[in-house]
Amino acid sequence: MLTVKEMNDLEGKRVIVRVDFNVPLKEGAIRDDNRIVQALPTIKDLIGKGARVILLSHLGKVQHKLAEENPAKLEKQIKEGSLAPVAARLSELLNKPVVFIEETRGDVLIESVNDLQNGEVLLLQNTRYEDGEEKNDVALSNFWASLGDAFVMDAFGSAHRAHASTYGIPEILKAEGKPVAVGYLVEKEVANLNRCVDVKDGDRPYIAILGGLKVSGKIKVIESLLNKCDKILIGGAMAFTFLKALGHGTGNSPVEDDQLAYAKNCYVKANGRIILPVDTVVSDAFDPAIRTTVQTVSTGNVAECFQGLDIGPKTRELFAMEIARAKMVFWNGPMGVFEQEGFQKGTIAICEAIAKNEKAFTVCGGGDSAAAAKQFGYMDDFSHVSTGGGAALEMIENDGRLPGIDVVS
């Protein structure tokens, strides 16, 4: 695998860099610029080598299939997906101008690329404005590839997608004999996540902590983790599917009924290595505006009209004890509805236990989990916080392989 660090003779060369600028926005303002910051080493390296840097990224969802049934919604997605605020922030961080092109193809883009001087940076508009992006459309890939003399993959958060900008371009350039490489961020992510995939004896006990909302989206990773980890601690809404599968009452808690058989099968196969909550903080309503009661009950005692919104104090202690003994920890998915003040303790307890265990190698992989770690001030306590939620999970699921990285390897 060639890295950007090792790429030479780039003076005057047009280098296409797929970055992950899919940042959270609120009313057009960037809420967290971490993904832009993480892309800087690669961009600066290329500027330093005198390359002409062409940046590509997607931002948010753009569902072109809505064009007929709900054009207003598509219009809104396009408006909210503009990379203009990202271009402005990038320019601040680099302390130099960034040429922002409102188009994703056409004469203006081609002329602007031709006008680029050595060491200058250009960002084109959201790749998903193109219907062909997610379809890995050949014509689109060919056009984008024609803009570059080399390609660098640094969008770890998009590396699990074989799209035109992540897969089509490098495939074409590679076939043309042009250099393709990974950037600093992808190199770092791969090194850290591979340690969670190829487990060394010295990294045991290896504990995975899973939470969040959906079981179905994380199914394959549970099976894969069972082959790698010593124990899996399950909290969050995901725990209720397991608890119900084992015959416990879960009241009104979110349960994926079509996953009950799978959950039970996993639990049995794990042979005591899946640890479930022993108590739960429950409420009569998810919406704080109509909530009347919050209480802690032991597992199995969730009354009909109540739902579990966080792990309870005994579970926090149990999970913390397991984490204290671990040599390696992989965490994905909050333990409760951490966005609401009354249901943050479970997620904080995980962060706290990870922070206290200084000898362990600890990885946070998951968009909301990383946001929680940041919100509660624990970012620096992890050995590695991944910029890719889905990509980190898929990398573990697929034993270290991702299409967007394989294609440049």
Residue 312 binding ligand ADP, by CB under 6 A: no
Nearer to ligand ADP (CB atom), residue 148 or residue 366: 366
372 φ, ψ (degrees, to nearest 5): -65, -45
Closest distance of CB 239 from ligand ADP, Å: 8
Closest distance of CB 271 from ligand ADP, Å: 26
Tell me what percent of the chain is helix, strand and coil, each rounded to the nearest 5.
45, 15, 40
Q: Rounded to the nearest 10 degrees, what angle do helices 34-48 and 184-197 cross at? A: 120
Q: Which of 16, 181, 276, 309 binds ligand ADP (CB under 6 A)?
A: 309
Residue 369 binding ligand ADP, by CB under 6 A: yes
Residue type, 11: E
- Which runs of consecutive H residues, i.e. helices, occur in 56-116? 66-69, 71-80, 84-94, 107-115
Of 248, 324, 342, the C-alpha closest to 288 is 342
> Out of Mg ion, ligand ADP, none, which partner does residue 404 contact, by CB within 5 to 8 A per kind?
none
> Would you say 349 and 316 are in contact if contact means Cβ atoms under 8 Å apart?
yes
The residues carrying an active-site annotation are 35, 214, 367, 390
Closest distance of CB 117 from ligand ADP, Å: 40
- Taking residue 239's Cβ as centre, other Cβ atoms within 10 Å add up to 29
Residue 170 binding ligand ADP, by CB under 6 A: no
> Out of Mg ion, ligand ADP, none, which partner does residue 157 contact, by CB within 5 to 8 A per kind?
none
Beta-strand ranges (E) seen in 211-298 are 231-234, 274-275, 279-283, 294-298
Nearer to Mg ion (CB atom), residue 279 or residue 368: 368
Closest distance of CB 209 from ligand ADP, Å: 11
In the stretch 196-225, what mask flags binding to ligand ADP with x, by CB under 6 A? ---------------xxxx-----------
Q: Which of 86, 113, 123, 237 binds ligand ADP (CB under 6 A)?
A: 237
> Would you say 277 and 240 are in contact if contact means Cβ atoms under 8 Å apart?
no
> Would you say 144 and 57 are in contact if contact means Cβ atoms under 8 Å apart?
no
Q: How far is CA 1 from CA 180, 194, 407, in A?
A: 9, 14, 10
Stretch that binds ligand ADP, among 134-142, 144-152, 175-183, 362-370 (CB under 6 A): 362-370
Residue 367 binding Mg ion, by CB under 5 A: yes
Nearer to ligand ADP (CB atom), residue 179 or residue 212: 212
Q: Which of 132, 157, 251, 366 binds ligand ADP (CB under 6 A)?
A: 366
Nearer to ligand ADP (CB atom), residue 158 or residue 332: 332
Give residues with Cβ within 8 angstroms of 53, minimum separation 6: 15, 17, 43, 46, 47, 120, 121, 122
Stretch that binds ligand ADP, among 62-70, 89-97, 312-320, 365-373 (CB under 6 A): 365-373
Place of tokens 């959950």: 263
Report residue 15 as tokens. 């280098």
Report residue 400 as tokens. 């270290």
Residue 251 binding ligand ADP, by CB under 6 A: no
Q: Which residues bind ligand ADP (CB under 6 A)?
A: 211-214, 236-237, 254, 308-309, 332-334, 336-339, 366-369, 389
